[in-house]
């Protein structure tokens, strides 16, 4: 099991996060190029958003690590770290089970499920405090993190530490595997570009007007939970706000519009950065291949 460490590898641990509809979605204006570039026209949306839409898949999804990929990488790293620590004579106690992550787009545009809004408000349904990992001794920590003078650590553990040594086997660096930087950057870019798109700005104003009519004053759907979801449970005011939030999203087709517009931006970004994304995919596949080799070598022979 991988543990926190002062080195970069420990910090980088896998943990494992929208106008009404139809033809209106094809007209807007925005600028995405630099000062010397001609303004890029907003991408055309070919779908008709419906009321009651939920955040759906986005084009970049296939470039992210899947849950299965995360599990394979984490299991391989855990095996490598555990073997390293055992060889050093400082084995680690079992780590607590990893809490399952919510669906990728569950709250990309704010809450969207009426039943969860009515029961939990803006709080996350069924979410509990993650279990605390068992403590490690100073000797174990040195074996995990490495030694500052470049000498072998406790029990002959590698100078770079068991965490970095495990990462090296999978990534070729001292950093644990994660989603490629270009994928994460484009995911953020598409969100910002779509949020600033005239079609989304229009539907956000409609949502805000709808909320104001019900006695709730918010500029956008991502503002409301910030001031409400900190307590241990949802208050009556929070639940009332969340229910109005989802109802106004349905009435204005906010989720469907925003999701459709962002999908169009992601399609464009994928085409523009195709070479970088292809390289990132090859790197991801190579790391998964290395992880699979580690898991096969550790599997009991039949």
Place of tokens 């898949």: 57
pLDDT tens digits, 103-136: 788 899 999 999 999 999 998 876 656 677 788 9
Rounded to whole angstroms, the Cα distance separating 149 from 274 reads 43
DSSP assignment letter at 253:
T
Read off the pLDDT of each residue in 226-241 and give the average, rounded to a whole number. 83
Task: State residue 110 phi and psi, 5-degree precision.
Answer: 90, 180
CB contact burial 166-185 (16+ within 10 A = b; e otherwise): bbbbbbeebbbbbbbebbee
What is the CA 253 to chain-centroid distance, rounded?
A: 24
Rounded to whole angstroms, the Cα distance separating 139 from 177 reads 26
Q: Given a cut of 50, is residue 23 above it in pLDDT?
A: no
pLDDT tens digits, 25-77: 433 333 344 445 566 889 988 777 777 778 889 999 999 999 999 999 999 99
Comparing CA positions, the residue from 140, 160, 142 lying closest to residue 92 is 140
User: For residue 100, what pLDDT band results from cuts at 50, 70 and 90?
Assistant: low
Q: Given a cut of 80, is residue 99 above it in pLDDT?
A: no
Task: State residue 244 phi and psi, 5-degree precision.
Answer: -65, -40
Of 20-29, 48-57, 89-98, 181-190, where does the model show the most confidence?
Answer: 181-190
Give the DSSP H/E element, type plus range, for residue 84: helix 67-87
Rounded to whole angstroms, the Cα distance separating 56 from 53 reads 8
What Å distances lie between residue 34 and 3, 40, 189, 208, 213, CA to CA? Answer: 43, 10, 15, 31, 40
Cα dihedral sign, 198-204-208-210? positive
Rounded to whole angstroms, the Cα distance separating 102 from 112 reads 14
Tokens of 6: 């002062």
pTM over the 0.85 mark = no
Of 3-7, 76-80, 298-302, the poorest mean pLDDT is in 3-7
Please provide the average confidence, as pLDDT, over all residues in the chain. Answer: 84
């Amino acid at each position: 099991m991988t543990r926190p460490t002062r080195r970069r590898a420990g910090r980088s641990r896998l943990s494992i996060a929208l106008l009404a509809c139809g033809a209106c979605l094809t007209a807007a204006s925005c600028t995405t190029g630099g000062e010397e570039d001609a303004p890029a026209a907003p991408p055309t949306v070919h779908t008709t958003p419906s009321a009651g839409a939920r955040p759906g898949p986005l084009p970049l999804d296939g470039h992210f690590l899947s849950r299965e990929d995360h599990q394979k990488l984490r299991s391989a790293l855990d095996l490598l770290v555990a073997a390293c620590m055992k060889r050093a004579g400082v084995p680690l106690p079992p780590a607590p089970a990893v809490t399952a992550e919510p669906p990728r787009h569950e709250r990309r545009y704010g809450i969207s499920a009426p039943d969860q809004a009515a029961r939990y408000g803006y709080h996350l349904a069924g979410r509990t405090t993650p279990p605390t990992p068992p403590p490690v001794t100073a000797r174990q920590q040195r074996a995990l993190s490495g030694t500052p003078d470049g000498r072998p650590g406790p029990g002959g553990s590698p100078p770079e530490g068991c965490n970095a040594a495990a990462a090296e086997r999978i990534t070729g660096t001292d950093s644990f595997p994660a989603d490629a930087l270009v994928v994460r950057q484009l995911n953020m870019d598409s969100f910002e570009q779509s949020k600033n798109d005239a079609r989304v700005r229009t539907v956000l104003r409609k949502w805000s007007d709808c909320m104001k009519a019900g006695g709730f004053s918010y500029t956008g759907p991502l503002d409301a939970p910030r001031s409400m979801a900190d307590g241990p449970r949802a208050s009556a005011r929070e639940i009332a706000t969340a229910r109005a939030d989802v109802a106004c999203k349905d009435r204005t087709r906010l989720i469907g519009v925003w999701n459709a517009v962002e999908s169009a931006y992601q399609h464009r970004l994928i085409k523009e950065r195709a070479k970088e994304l292809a390289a990132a995919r090859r790197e991801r596949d190579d790391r998964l291949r290395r992880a699979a080799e580690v898991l096969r070598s550790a599997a009991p022979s039949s």
